[in-house]
Each structure stands twice: as structure tokens, then as C-alpha cells.
Amino acid sequence: MPTYKLIYFNARGYGELARLLFAVAGVPYEDIRVERASWPNEYKAICPFGQMPLLEVDGKILAQSSAIARYLAMEFGMAGKDNWEQARIDMVVDSFGDILQDMRVPYLETDPEKKEALVKQFVGESLPKRLGYLENILKENGGGQGFIVGDSLTWADLGVANSVDYLKLMCPNPFENFPLLAGLVQRVREIPQVAAWIAKRPETAT
């Protein structure tokens, strides 16, 4: 078994999907957490693009959160059973990237009036639009009571479940009107390894 190190801030953020993969796979790794106040530190020099998260596998480095998560999912057999399923998973995961892009501006806005308007637009329009598409994709997969792609747990399902934690920064119940997605989140969070990780991971704001 290779030696794994994940290096990120002491936050869920862009590192959490990798942590969930390690947890579900039951694979040990060093969960290195850097406090924001002490960044940049000695790790910055080894970051291919100057940013974390970083995955170190027997000393070899990988950057970019999606590339890291996909690599681990492939290694741990949670990436779909063929190239087509892998692509459909990538598609679902990338759509959350789009949601995060939409979320950036309202999240970072400091002027209270502007922020309120931007959050309202995100929560009322752009988020439900994107979640609606995902709800359909889930529904098209055998009715939506199982997984979002294929017939077993993949990192796409973990990505859906993980998204609730950051979407909650914008609204209290992001999947309120999307019962199939909400059901999937529930099922994923009840997986013993996931539940155990959520219970023991450090509590962080983001």
C-alpha cells in the first residue's frame, strides 16, 4: 500500500472529497492541516501551482482537488465501471464546480446590501436551476433511489453529499425542493464509514 499524505487547510473546502474517499475506502493517510494564519508555509514551494490541496503518494505530488479525488476514486474502485460511467461521474462532479463558481461572488461580497441581493439570486435562481438538472440525472438513473451514476457508490455520490456542507453557507436547506438528491445525501451520510468520519472530523466553519 502506498503512503498517502493529504495537505490542505484545516477546513473541509477543497480537501474534503479526498478525505471522504479515504474514509469510505478505509485507507490510512496523513491528514495534514495547515492553519490559514500560517500559510504560506514550507509546503507552498512544492505545490505545482502554489496552492493546496496537495496529495503526496510515496513522495510524488498531485495538485488540483478534482484530479486528486479522481485519482483516489480510480485507485479505490469508486470511479465507475467503464470509461462512459467515469465520464458521467466527471460530468456530475464538474457541475458542482459550476455551482461553486456561481457561489463565489455572493459568498465573497462584503457589502451587506449587495450581498443580500446576490445571495437571493443564487439561492432563488442559479442554484435551483443547477440542482434541477442534477435531480433529473439522478432520476434518469433507475428512478433515483440508488446512486447518481451506475449501480454502486462512486465519488459523484460523495460529491453530492459533500456539497450540502458548503451550500449550507448560503441557505439552510439547499436540497429542500429536490427529494431525490436529498435522499441520496441521506443514504451517503448513513454509510458507516462516512458517518464515522463526519462524527470524528474536526469541526470547521468551511
Residues that bind another protein (CB under 8 A): 48-50, 57, 60, 62-64, 66-68, 70-71, 74-75, 83-84, 86-88, 90-91, 94-95, 98, 101, 129-130, 133, 136-137
Q: Which is nearer to another protein, 166 or 191 (CB)?
A: 166
17 DSSP assignment: H
For residues 27-38, b (16+ Cβ closer than 10 Å) or e, as one string? eebebbebeeee
55/191 with CB nearer another protein = 55
Beta bridge partners, 54, equal: 7, 63
Closest CB 199 distance from another protein, rounded Å: 30
Q: Which is nearer to another protein, 20 or 148 (CB)?
A: 148
Minimum distance from residue 134 beta carbon to another protein (Å): 8
Q: How far is the CB of 162 from another protein (least distance, A)?
A: 18
List Cα–Cα distances, 99 to 5, 49, 74, 116, 170, in angstroms: 28, 23, 24, 18, 12
Structure-block grid coordinates of residue 192: 458507516
Least Cβ distance, residue 143 to another protein (angstroms): 17
Q: How far is the CB of 202 from another protein (least distance, A)?
A: 26
For 9, 17, 58, 112, 197, the CA distances from 53, given in Å and listed in that order, are 8, 11, 16, 31, 19
Q: Which is nearer to another protein, 50 or 142 (CB)?
A: 50
Q: Indicate the residue among 56 and 191 with the shorter CB distance to another protein.
A: 56
Quote the CA–CA distance of 178 and 26 in Å, as a whole number: 30
